[in-house]
Each structure stands twice: as C-alpha cells, then as structure tokens.
Amino acid sequence: MALIGPNGCGKSTLLRLVAGLLRPEAGVVELDGVPVSGPDPRVGFVFQEPRLLPWRDAAGNVAYPLELAGWSRPRREDQVRDLLSLVGLREFAGARPHELSGGMRQRVSIARALALGPSVLLLDEPFSALDSLTRERFNSELVNLWDRTATTILLVTHSISEAIFLADRVVVLSPRPGRVVAEVPVELDRIERESNIDMLALGRTAARIRRHLAGATDDPSPAELSAELSRRERARQIPIEELGVPAWFDPFGPEDRS
Amino acid sequence: MTDARSVAEARAQGRATRAGHHTRVGRWRRTVDVTLAAVVFVALWKLLVVVGGYPVFILPAPEIVAGRFVSAWTDGTLEPHAAQTLLEVALGFTVGASLALVAGYALARSRLMERVLSPYLVAAQATPILALAPLLALWFGSGLLSKVVICALIVFFPVAVATMVGLRSVDRRLVEMARSFRATRWQLLWTLELPAALPGIMGGMRVGVTLAVVGAIIGEWAGGERGLGVLINLARGSLFDIPLLFATLLTIALLGIALYLLVVLVERRIVGVRG
C-alpha cells in the first residue's frame, strides 16, 4: 500500500503514528485489532535517511535492534547473515557506513528494519535520496523482498509511478488538514506492471490518482505562509540546542522550551 | 553491480590514503620534522645564552640542563618527586573525570540541574585554582588528598562541559531510530548517546589531563613534602640549583606531553575511524 500526497499533508506523521513513535491526539491506531501504544515490535521503520550508527559496520547496524531486544550472540549472527544476504550485502558485512554508497546504506537500513521480523514494514520516502537509476532497481528489489518476507509494506512516496509500480492500493492524502481523499486500487498484476504491457490501464490509474491530487498543491495559503514565517522567526531565536551547542548558563537566553 | 564495484574502489582508495599515514616514508618524514624543530629550538636557546651572556643562575645553556636532567634522574633526585606528581595526577584525573561524566550527564538531561548548578560550576572554574589551593591545603592537609582534590577540581569543568555538549548534540534522528526499536533509557545511553558523544568527551579529557598536571604542581606549591612542584621550590630556594630547576620543568613538560599522548591513544583506540 502506498501513501501519496504533497508535502505537509502528514504522511510522515501518519507513519510515525503507526510505528508508535508519536501518540495520536485522538483515535487509536490498530494493527490486527491490537492497539499500538508506544514503539511497536510488530513494525519495522525505514526512514528517509539510512540513520546508521557511524561507529558500527553494516553487520553491527543490522544487529542493533537484536541487541536492544536482548538476542544472544549466535542467534544474532545467524539472523544478521540472513538479512544481509536478503538485501544483497553479504560481502559488505564489515564495511562502515561511510564506506558504503547511499543505496547500500539504505539497504542496510531496510535489513535493520526487518531484523525483528515485523509484520508491517513502514517506508518513509526511503529512496528519495537515491538517483533515479538506483531508485528503479530498488523498487523492483522491494517487490522481491515483499514476495519473500510476506511483510505488509506501507510506503510513503511523492511519485505516482512509484506508487503504481509498488502498491496494490494507493491512498491519496490532501494537505492541511491532511485527509484521505481517495483510495485507488491498482488493478494490474506484477508482470503487467514490470513489462508495462497495459499502458492504457497504467495511464488510467495514474490519471485517477492525479485527479485526486488536483488542487492539492504544496503552496501554502497567505495565512499559512505568515504563520510559518513567524514560526521560523521564533525558531531562529532559540535553536542553539538543536545545533548541538548548549545554552550553557546563559542568563540572557530564552526561557524553557521543554 | 555498479554499486558494489564503486564501493570496492572507494574502500580501496580509503585504505590507500589511510595507509599513507603509516607508510615508512610518512612516518620517517614526520620524525624528521619533529626532530628538526627540536634542534632549532635548542639551537636558538644556546644562541640566546651565548649572545646574551647570561649566567647559569638566570638561563643555563641547554647542555648544562641536559646534563643535570640525566644526573638528577640517575642519582635518584627526580624520581621520587616525579612519581609523587604522577600519582597525584592519575588519582585526581580519574576522580575528577569520573565525577564530571556523571555531572555532565545530569546537566545534559535536566534543565533544572543546569540552571541550579551551572553558576557554581562556572564560579568554581573562574576562581583561580592558585587562590583556592591554600584553602584546600588547609582543609585536606599537606598530604596526597589535597593534591588529588585540586587536580579533580581542575579536571572537572572541561570534562563536564564536554560531556554535556556531547550528549546534547546527539543526532535526534538516530535517537528516533533507536526508539523505533524500543530502546530503553539505559540502552539509549550506552548504545547510542555515549558512543556518539565520545569524540567530544575525549576532547574534554585532553584538556583535562594537561590541566591536572598544573593542578598537581600548584597543590604541591601550597604545601607538601614531595612532588615536582616541591622540587622547583627547593631548587630555586635552599638548593639554589637552577639547572635542576630547569631539569624539573623539562620533566613536568614531558609528563604533560606523555599524558596527553596517552589520552589521544586511548581516544584513537575507542573512537576509531568514523565517516
């Protein structure tokens, strides 16, 4: 299933709600009828950036969630080996993140997300930082992965073609306030999609998604714009902490923001 | 697999450049640079003595100092003092740095702690240790304890601040990643925050260890029976052995360099290569 929509419509927020990283203000997120409360082991999260620990090699990064979950070393090693072969990085187990290409790093992060055998894999624009050639290959690899691991995949994307290629259902979101505008089923089987045989059906699906996206642009209204600007103005005054420099005993600094 | 190939190349290149630092030519070159600089320094020193015509009790010539350095070590004049100072520094640094790690963590975690404690920390750091030393000697006696306290005090601030800054600047995105795998508070600290903050913390330790030597000498000046600071006083005063004074200064400098290098070595060991 793919989520598609312009920036700021809450796609990433939705994913974080599903993952239990954020708590909903109202309503409940349920997986198989069981509500999600707090970060959930049934969910694997692939972030927009690989977010690898730079001081660990590829194997160490994949093993990270297993260590946190208290797996024994031999079990960990077996699992890591399987996962790295799954994403085609077995020979790179000992490579540090800075020695890997962007695409390989993202593969490590996918293997890491799969480490604890989640039933749902959440992908937050996982390939947006990759070049379009690598991206295409990743998309077909992802389909393979989906075939082999029997994991439900929820993908956030900006690309209509990517959504059609990967998903069985495409959910279209509108910006501010984020609403589900439509759910478009992709009625093409895998082989048709890969070979682009049925261009007509493909085009029709794309057109449907596009129609729902119409008007849902990225541009904020004037009111939103001024709100955003004043927010940024405020943000500019405080952010020392975010930059990593602490407001060490600064009596002239701003009051608590915590 | 263009991907794999380019990475293999990149790794090979990385290995080549990294190895470059350690090839025999590179190491030899660095040794030559360091030696050359030392030779120039000693030559300028000698020149100054000759041209200025200074007497031995103002500025002894380098060969006199070198001779006294060797004789003071061989006849057992320097050794007990150096051992005492080293002990003070080691104990003081260990105590100060350990407490600073805990305090740095508390300061990084709690705004309240930071607000309440930081004025005292800054004030303690701003008050010259030279002025505090007599008081601390009065409280803790002229033995080992007062020196350890002074060393610990002087080491505390740079390490605490480095720890706080390091922990605060951990990438929030990595923290979110760890949280998505249900890391507990404690796991977060040990597996993510501490390793991420380590380069910064080690920077604070580098500063701290050199300051610890200063602290020990000052502590010995304020009262004590043994130590390099005591020996300086003796050499200047009752012994009136200025070459010995210089030999002691040389020992202190070498001690500082050795300890600094030790910290750097430990840092390389535990921080390793990061990209």
ipTM of the shown complex: 0.73
Question: Which pLDDT does position B4 carry in this prediction?
Answer: 47
CATH placement of domain B67-271: 1.10.3720.10
Residues of chain A above pLDDT 70, percent: 75
Most A CBs within 10 A among B111, B157, B181, hence the mutation to make, goes to B181
Stretch 42-101 of chain A: residues touching chain B, C-beta under 8 Å: 43, 45, 47, 49, 51, 53-55, 64-65, 67-69, 91-92, 95-101
* Contact assignment for A99 to B122 by CB distance below 8 Å: no
Q: Which two tokens mark B228?
A: 């390099």
pLDDT tens for A1-51 read: 787 877 767 777 888 888 888 877 777 777 777 777 778 888 888 998 889
Residue A224 vs residue A185, higher pLDDT: A185
- State how far residue A183 is from chain B, nearest Cα, in angstroms: 28
Quote the CA–CA distance of A47 and A127 in Å, as a whole number. 9
Question: Which pLDDT does position A191 carry in this prediction?
Answer: 63
* Contact (Cβ atoms closer than 8 angstroms) between residue B274 and residue A55: yes
Quote the CA–CA distance of B108 and B74 in Å, as a whole number. 49
Q: Which residues of B touch A96 (CB under 8 A)?
A: 273-275
3-state secondary structure of A251: coil
Single-letter amino acid code for the residue at B241: D
Residues of chain A above pLDDT 90, percent: 14
pLDDT tens for A87-138 read: 888 899 998 898 898 888 999 999 999 899 888 888 888 887 777 777 777 8
**Domain locations along chain A:** 2-219, 220-258
Quote the CA–CA distance of B182 and A50 in Å, as a whole number. 18
* Contact assignment for A55 to B195 by CB distance below 8 Å: yes
* Contact (Cβ atoms closer than 8 angstroms) between residue A215 and residue B142: no
Question: Which pLDDT does position B111 carry in this prediction?
Answer: 87
| Least confident segment among A197-206, A233-242, B18-27, B254-263 | A233-242
Q: Is A124 exposed, middle or buried (0-12, 13-18, 19+ CB in 10 A)?
A: buried
- State how far residue B213 is from chain A, nearest Cα, in angstroms: 26
Quote the CA–CA distance of B113 and B162 in Å, as a whole number. 16
**Domain locations along chain B:** 2-53, 67-271
* Contact assignment for A246 to B165 by CB distance below 8 Å: yes
Domain A2-219 fold is Rossmann fold (3.40.50)
* Contact assignment for A246 to B168 by CB distance below 8 Å: yes
Mean pLDDT, residues A142-168 taken together = 80
Single-letter amino acid code for the residue at B56: V
Torsion of CA A70, A75, A77, A78, to 10 degrees: -140
Tell me, yes or no, if A240 comes closer than 8 A to chain B by beta carbon: no
Tell me, yes or no, if A15 comes closer than 8 A to chain B by beta carbon: no
Give the other-Cβ count within 10 Å of A240's Cβ: 15
- State how far residue B22 is from chain A, nearest Cα, in angstroms: 20
Mean pLDDT, residues B19-42 taken together = 80
Q: Which residues of B touch A258 (CB under 8 A)?
A: 111
Q: Which residues of B touch A41 (CB under 8 A)?
A: 182
Single-letter amino acid code for the residue at A144: N
How many residue pairs bridge chain A and chain B with CB atoms within 8 Å of each other?
98
Mean pLDDT, residues B248-269 taken together = 93
Quote the CA–CA distance of B62 and B126 in Å, as a whole number. 37
Establish whether the linkage from the previous residue to A6 is cis, with ω within 30° of 0: no
Beta-bridged to residue B208, according to DSSP, are none
Nearest Cα residue in chain A from B175: A51
